[in-house]
A and B are shown apart, each in its own frame.
Chain A
Amino acid sequence: MKLANYWSEADLLKGVKENSELAIKSIYKLHFAMVENFIRLNGGNSQDAKDVFQEGFLVLYRNVKKDDFKLDCKIKTYLYSVCRRIWLTELKRKNKVSTLVNELDEFITVDDTEIDENNEQEKMLSHLSQCLELLGEPCSSLLSDFYLNNYSMQEIADKMGYTNSDNAKTQKYKCLLRLKKIFFKNEILKKETIN
């Protein structure tokens, strides 16, 4: 097993890109403490820190997957900058703007659009998970198991009592169609109500 300290930056990024659990855990172990310190020094608690770090890490995670993404600073600096930005936005939203921000590290400027995009994405995802719940059984478990929990079709067929994996597959596509319907329909409804 690789020890957290022995990952090189490039290894870590590659690991994250390939969804390596060890790499993701290492990043958390290595860099969470700093973000936690920053947030505690600036009016947050450790639960806030966890939420912010997770959000910040997802920004990195999603960017790493993009082919044109190139990180031109340390992972630490990048995560710190993103989390810092997220936390400052959060403080502003709560009208708790502290003029004095306690900085712990150098940081790069983070594009606000990136954060906004990320927020949009988050909204979309919570909409999706709501839709998944709305589907009801068996579709809800079937889709969650396959797409979110990485079960194989055979395992799902065994678990849910389908005679073979092909049956389960057909069922899965049917469920997907239903999910698609409410996913896009609800979104349109939402937009209309906003306008």
Chain B
Amino acid sequence: MDLLRLTELSEKYFNGSLNDIENNELLSAISSDSELNLQFKENITLFKNLDLLREKQLTKKLFGEVDNEKYKLKNNSFDLKQRIIHFSAVAAVTIFAVVGTLYFSGWFSYRSHIQSYTRLGNNISTLTNNQKSLWSALFSNDKSEHSYTTGTGFAISTNGYIITSYHIIKDFDSIFVVNNQDSLFRYHVTLVYNNENSDLAILKISDFNFNSLEKIPFKLSNEKINLGEYVYTLGYSKQNIVFGEGSISSYTGFNEDSLTIQVSIPSNPGNSGGPILNSKGEIVGMLCAKSNEIDGATYAVKSEYLYNVIDSLNSKLDNDKVILPKYNNLLKLDRPQQIKKIQNLIFRVEAY
């Protein structure tokens, strides 16, 4: 008997489908030849193993199917929703049309702006300011007491570059930075860069009395921001400098804006433009706004973005470039000492 025939008969034997003739043929073959007998036994082992492998794969497949069913079950409600959407397509289009019309005509934007976002320039909302200046221009010569704003700004290079919030100085042409910590000085500055969307402005001290600032002990952080990290700020929410502390509470800012972060520092008008420093004394951001709706949510422009802006500014400047401090000299100091070192470099920005 050749091996192919033996294999065939072995398989039938394994399945129990041998008829009598085949059975005899097989038995006589394997009883007379020990080599065939061995082959037969091997065949049976192989079939057994194939059978077991089939069971294993079946089990695996079935369990996988059950897992998928569970998954589908979870998504069923979603399917239903989709179906509703399909069947009510006409209604949806109508709604979109109406909403779209309202949106483009500015019906919504007016409201949402007012309800949820305040920029922290002191005293004034743009609206009253415009109105008042209009009034004074039209009717009288006496200056309104509110016709200026103040905010905060901080120096980033010894040759007199200062970062602040654009909305503070937006409507004014005459800008001064004031510091009265050790000695009073008040310099006139000019605007060298502004971006209304990111609410960022870079000023340069342009006063003829000005030589240079003292050494800048902090640097812009280039490390990844950590949620929950301790941070603090210094700002001029009144005539003198005020300290405020909190932690980083979200990686993104208002409306998931990724240029900004959310910090839990209580902020007041006047804090705008202040630096946000971490415990090492590195600047992680610049405070720019707070939420009217969420308690304690203050927003700050990321230092990463400040870097980018300064880089692009430098590429445009021919001389007198912004030279960023490279080293952080505050690392090992405790907070009161850190503040002592930096308070001279944080200014009240006054705009008239």
Within 8 Å CB of B63, what residues of A? 25, 28, 32, 50, 53-54
| B49 nearest CB neighbor, chain A only | A128
**A152 beta carbon closer than 8 Å to chain B:** no
Which residues on B sit within 8 Å (CB–CB) of A25? Answer: 62-63, 65-66
Q: Quick check: is A107 within 8 A (CB to CB) of the other chain?
A: no
User: A85-93, A156-164, A178-186: which one contacts chain B?
Assistant: A178-186
A167 at the interface (CB under 8 A from B): no
Quick check: is B46 within 8 A (CB to CB) of the other chain?
yes
Ordered by A's residue number, 14 sampled pairs between the chains whose C-beta atoms are within 8 Å are A19-B58, A25-B62, A25-B63, A28-B62, A32-B63, A54-B60, A54-B63, A61-B55, A62-B52, A124-B49, A129-B53, A150-B54, A180-B42, A183-B49
Say whether B52 contacts A180, CB under 8 Å.
Answer: no
Is A41 located at the chain interface by the 8 A CB criterion?
no
Across the interface, do B55 and A176 meet the contact criterion of CB distance under 8 Å?
no
CB of B230 to closest CB in A, whole Å? 34
CB neighbours of B39 from chain A (8 A): 180
With A21-B62, A180-B42, A180-B46 as given contacts, are A173 and B4 in contact (CB-CB < 8 Å)? yes
Min Cβ gap B158→A in Å is 56
In the complex, the chain A residue whose C-beta lies closest to that of B10 is: A176
**Which residues of B lie under 8 Å from residue A184 when comparing CB positions?**
42
Give the interface SS of chain A, mostly helix, strand, loop or mixed. helix
Does B80 interact with chain A (Cβ within 8 Å)?
no
Question: Which residues on the A side are within 8 Å of B43 (C-beta)?
Answer: 176, 180
- The interface bits of chain A over 18-60 (1 if a CB of B lies within 8 angstroms of the residue's CB, else 0) are 0101001100110010000000000000000010011001100
Kindly list chain B residues whose C-beta atoms are within 8 Å of the C-beta of A173.
4, 7-8
Interface residue? A110 (CB, 8 A):
no
How far is it, in angstroms, between the C-alpha of A62 and the C-alpha of B58 when the chains are bound? 13
Complex alpha-carbon distance, A177 and B46, angstroms = 10
Using CB atoms, name the residue of chain A closest to B51: A147
Please tell me if A121 contacts chain B, counting CB pairs below 8 Å: yes
Closest to A122 in B: B56
Determine the chain A residues whose CB is within 8 A of the CB of B65 once the complex forms: 25
Q: Does B57 touch A at the CB level, under 8 Å?
A: yes
Question: Does A14 sit at the interface, judged by CB under 8 A?
Answer: no
